[in-house]
């Protein structure tokens, strides 16, 4: 998770959502000089890719064949890039500079609380995922350094990290000192994907042709034995919705689209479109590599956090856990800030004007709720799947086409050729509703 802090109080601009889990808030001041094409591509890929990569192999392991899995990643990458560009085009057409501003201009100021609520729920879910991953990655690290099993448990570690590290960090109002987490998070993601790919090819977790363990990390039988009983080339059925739900957060950074557009050195729609297409092509490649490599290593037994599959004595896996652990520790406050600001904005809309003034109490209550859920839900892919299916679908496939088509209608008229053409984009809405409804159902069913 490498988020970038924005000092603005605007919820849409400042909120942070899980990497890969979705995009971080981007500081517009970082882009004032005008980012080149290459810099913009790097920034967008960096903004989107994240810890959600760890859940993709488990999504495929639900039963989707190799070719449909790659096709699903590619299709959702294309769909997400298309709606990402819609927001920038709506930004240009309406003259607004942020996601919520576009909503207010096109769909009414009275309903802008919908955006706040969506961001609040998504950010809150992301902090739960972060907290759960912290328990997943730090427990084996503590074991490796000799912490006794009697006190080294996932639940107690989540509580301890929340109280001793996350709470004081979340109380900080000026998060500019955590700007270094941007490069830290990107480095963690890059190393983890590379590590997963290497382990899928080096034979250290391999089975013989007869299914006997021959890799050095599976020979002692202390980890779940790889199994490929459900591995197929073409299978595509309702279980594939589990993978689609896991990908619900993988391409999300849409509320930052106006900032990326305005931040380019030559902000034109064609140039922005080229940048977005290039970025999402890279993201599709990264996700396919992580998903396929993870599944090629462990097959049907891939866990919701793929790092949990690797042997405790695997030093490369330990490095991946440490890198992920530190990047999430310092990235958590930035995601938490997005949830806090969105909650405050929703509360003010409902007439509770003083909620934001009680900073310490609000942070304490929110972190207590986040920690309680994190220790209750042991499989982070469940939270990723549910939030991806619901809020991911809303923010990526439903709201952008609604705003864009309404902007075109307001600018050109309901009878215009432009509006009739762009109205076809409303087809993304039933796609989003389908992924949301069936994705939730299949995700819950797969975890039952």
Condensed to tens digits (0 to 9), the pLDDT of residues 93-102 reads 998 888 888 9
Q: How confident is the model over 240-257, as a mean pLDDT?
A: 86
Burial class (CB in 10 A: 0-12, 13-18, 19+), 32: exposed
> What is the C-alpha to C-alpha distance for residues 87 and 72, in angstroms, rounded to an integer?
23
Mean pLDDT of the chain: 86
pLDDT at 11: 41
| pLDDT surpassing 80 at residue 7 | no
**Chain length of the chain:** 448
* Owner of token pair 């892919």: 381
Q: Which residues of 307-317 are buried (b: 16+ CB within 10 A; e: fewer)?
A: bbbbbeebebb
* pLDDT of res. 279: 95
What percentage of the chain reaches a pLDDT higher than 90? 50
Q: Is the pLDDT of residue 433 over 90?
A: yes
Predicted local confidence at residue 314, as pLDDT: 94
DSSP β-bridge partners for residue 264: 35
Q: Is the predicted pLDDT of residue 4 greater than 50, yes or no?
A: no
User: How many Å apart are CA 348 and CA 188, to the nearest integer?
Assistant: 37
Tell whether the model's pLDDT for residue 369 goes beyond 60.
yes
Examine the pLDDT at 27 and tell me if it is beyond 70. no
pLDDT given at position 152? 93
Query: Which segment of 150-159, 236-245, 365-374, 394-403 scores lowest on mean pLDDT?
Result: 236-245
The answer for residues whose C-beta is within 8 angstroms of residue 223's C-beta and 6 or more apart is: 217, 309, 310, 311
Provide the pLDDT for residue 33.
57
Q: Locate 228 and state its tokens.
A: 């490929």
For residue 416, give both structure tokens.
């215009």
Nearest-angstrom CA–CA distance, 145 and 158 = 18
Tell me the backbone φ, ψ of residue 35, rounded to 5 degrees: -85, 140
For residue 379, the model assigns a pLDDT of: 86
Q: What is the pTM of this model?
A: 0.84
Q: At 5, is the pLDDT very low, low, confident or very high (cuts 50, 70, 90)?
A: very low
Query: How many percent of the chain have pLDDT more than 70?
Result: 91
Segment 299-314 shows an average pLDDT of 93
pLDDT category of residue 180 using cuts at 50, 70 and 90 = low
């Amino acid at each position: 998770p490498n988020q970038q802090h924005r000092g603005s109080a605007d919820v849409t601009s400042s909120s942070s959502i899980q990497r890969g889990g979705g995009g971080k808030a981007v500081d517009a001041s970082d882009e004032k000089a005008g980012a080149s094409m290459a810099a913009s591509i790097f920034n967008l890929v960096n903004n989107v890719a994240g810890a959600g990569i760890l859940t993709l192999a488990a999504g495929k392991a639900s039963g989707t064949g190799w070719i449909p899995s790659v096709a699903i990643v590619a299709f959702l990458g294309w769909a997400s890039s298309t709606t990402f560009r819609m927001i920038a085009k709506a930004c240009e057409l309406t003259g607004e500079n942020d996601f919520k501003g576009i909503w207010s201009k096109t769909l009414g100021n009275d309903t802008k609380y919908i955006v706040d609520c969506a961001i609040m729920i998504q950010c809150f879910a992301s902090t739960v995922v972060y907290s759960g991953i912290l328990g997943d990655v730090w427990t084996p690290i503590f074991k490796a350094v000799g912490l006794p099993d009697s006190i080294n448990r996932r639940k107690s570690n989540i509580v301890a990290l929340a109280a001793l590290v996350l709470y004081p960090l979340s109380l900080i109002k000026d998060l500019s000192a955590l700007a270094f987490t941007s490069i830290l998070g990107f480095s963690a993601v890059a190393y983890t994907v590379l590590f997963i790919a290497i382990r899928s090819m080096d034979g250290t977790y391999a089975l013989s042709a007869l299914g006997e363990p021959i890799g050095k990390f599976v020979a002692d039988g202390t980890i779940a034995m790889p199994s490929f009983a459900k591995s197929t080339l073409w299978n595509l059925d309702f279980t594939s919705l589990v993978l689609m739900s896991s990908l619900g957060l993988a391409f999300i950074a849409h509320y930052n689209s106006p900032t990326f557009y305005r931040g380019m050195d030559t902000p034109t729609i064609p140039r922005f479109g080229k940048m977005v297409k290039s970025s999402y092509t890279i993201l599709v490649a990264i996700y396919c590599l992580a998903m396929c490599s993870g599944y090629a290593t462990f097959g049907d037994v891939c866990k919701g956090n793929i790092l949990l599959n690797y042997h405790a004595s695997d030093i490369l896996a330990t490095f991946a856990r440490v890198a992920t652990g530190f990047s999430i520790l310092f990235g958590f406050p930035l995601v938490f800030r997005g949830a806090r600001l969105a909650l405050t904005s929703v509360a003010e809309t409902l007439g509770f004007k003083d909620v934001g003034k009680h900073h310490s109490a609000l942070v304490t209550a929110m972190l207590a709720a986040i920690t309680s859920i994190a220790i209750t839900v042991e499989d982070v892919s469940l939270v990723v799947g549910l939030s991806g299916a619901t809020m991911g679908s809303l923010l990526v496939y439903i709201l952008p086409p609604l705003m864009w088509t309404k902007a075109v209608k307001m600018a050109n008229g309901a009878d215009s050729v432009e509006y009739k053409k762009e109205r076809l984009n409303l087809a993304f809405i039933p796609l989003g509703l389908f992924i949301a409804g069936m994705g939730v159902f299949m995700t819950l069913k797969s975890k039952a």
